[in-house]
Structure 1
Amino acid sequence: MVALIAAACAFSLGFFVRGESQLLHSLGFVGAGITGDDKPAAQTQNANNSLGSRIAEVEKILDEDSVETYELDSATSALLEALATTADDPYMRYYTPLQYDELTRDVADTGSYSGVGVLFAEYNGRAYAVDVFDGSPAQQANVQEGDVVVAIDGNRDHDWTIAEVTTALKRSSGQDVVITWRHPASLDDTTGPEYTTTLACEDLSIPNIDIELIDGVGYIKLRQITQTSSKLMESAFRKLDAQGAIAYVIDVRDNPGGFLTQAVNIADLLLRSGTIVRIETQGADDTTKSATTNTTVTDKPVVVLVNGNTAASAEVLTAALQDNQRATVVGQNTLGKGSVQVTRELSFGGALRYTAAFYKSPLDYAFDKVGIMPDITVKLSETEDNQLAIALETAQNLASSES
Structure 2
Amino acid sequence: MEHASQKNKLQKRNANIIKVVGVCIVAIALFVAGFMFRGNTELLTAMGFTSFTTKQEANPGQTVSGNTYNSLSARVAEVQGIIANDSVDTYDLNAATTATLDAFIKTMNDPYARYFDASSYQTYLSSVSSPSTGIGVLFGESDGSCYVVDVFEGSEAANMGVLPGDYVEAIDGEKKDQWSLPEVTNTLRRDEGETVYITWRRPGKDNAGGTTFNTSLRYENSPETNITYSVTNGIAYIEIKQLGSDCAEVLKQTIAQAANEGASALVLDLRNIPGGYLTQAVEIASLFIQSGTVVQIKSGDTTTTKTADGAEVTNLPLVVLVNEKTAGSAEVLASALQDSQRATVVGVQTQGKGSVQVMQPLSFGGALRYTAATYLSPSGRAIDGVGVTPDVVITNTERQVPIALEIAASNR
Aligned residue pairs, count: 346
Q: Does 1:164 align with 2:180?
A: no
Q: 1:106 offset after TM fit, Å?
A: 6.4
Bigger mean CA deviation after superposition, 78-87 or 325-334: 78-87
Aligned runs of 1:25-174 on 2, under 5 Å? 47=68, 54-84=75-105, 87-105=108-126, 107-110=128-131, 114-153=133-172, 159-174=178-193
Q: Does 1:184 align with 2:184?
A: no
The runs of 5 or more residues in structure 2 that have no matched partner are 1-66
Q: Does 1:387 align with 2:404?
A: no
Q: 2:340 aligns with which of 307, 319, 324?
A: 324
Change (3 A) 1:241 1:142: closer
Change (3 A) 1:204 1:80: farther
Q: 1:304 offset after TM fit, Å?
A: 0.7
What SS is found at the alignment partner of 2:126? Answer: coil
CA distance in 2, matches of 1:146, 1:207: 20
Matched residue, 1:213: 231
Matched residue, 2:312: 296
Q: 1:301 offset after TM fit, Å?
A: 1.5
What SS is found at the alignment partner of 2:363? Answer: coil
- Equivalent position amino acid for 2:306 in 1: K
Contact kept, 8 Å, 1:269 with 1:297, in 2: the verdict is: yes
TM-score (norm 2): 0.75
CA distance in 2, matches of 1:396, 1:197: 41
Q: Is the helix fraction higher in 1 or 2?
A: 2
Change (3 A) 1:62 1:186: farther
CA distance in 2, matches of 1:173, 1:373: 43
CA distance in 2, matches of 1:143, 1:50: 53
CA distance in 2, matches of 1:201, 1:52: 52
Identity of aligned residues (%): 47
CA distance in 2, matches of 1:147, 1:49: 48
CA distance in 2, matches of 1:64, 1:197: 58
Contact kept, 8 Å, 1:146 with 1:186, in 2: the verdict is: no
Contact kept, 8 Å, 2:273 with 2:326, in 1: the verdict is: yes
Q: 1:290 offset after TM fit, Å?
A: 1.2
The runs of 5 or more residues in structure 1 that have no matched partner are 1-45
CA distance in 1, matches of 2:141, 2:329: 13
What SS is found at the alignment partner of 2:302? Answer: coil
- Equivalent position amino acid for 1:59 in 2: Q
What SS is found at the alignment partner of 1:279? Answer: strand
What SS is found at the alignment partner of 1:347? Answer: coil
Task: Please say which structure displays the higher CA radius of gyration.
Answer: 1
Change (3 A) 1:196 1:350: farther
- Equivalent position amino acid for 1:287 in 2: T
Matched residue, 1:285: 302
Q: 1:141 offset after TM fit, Å?
A: 4.5
- Aligned-residue RMSD, C-alpha: 2.8
Bigger mean CA deviation after superposition, 177-186 or 115-124: 177-186
- Equivalent position amino acid for 2:150 in 1: D
Q: 1:123 offset after TM fit, Å?
A: 1.6
Contact kept, 8 Å, 1:122 with 1:162, in 2: the verdict is: yes
Matched residue, 2:217: 199
CA distance in 2, matches of 1:82, 1:179: 33
Contact kept, 8 Å, 1:123 with 1:337, in 2: the verdict is: no
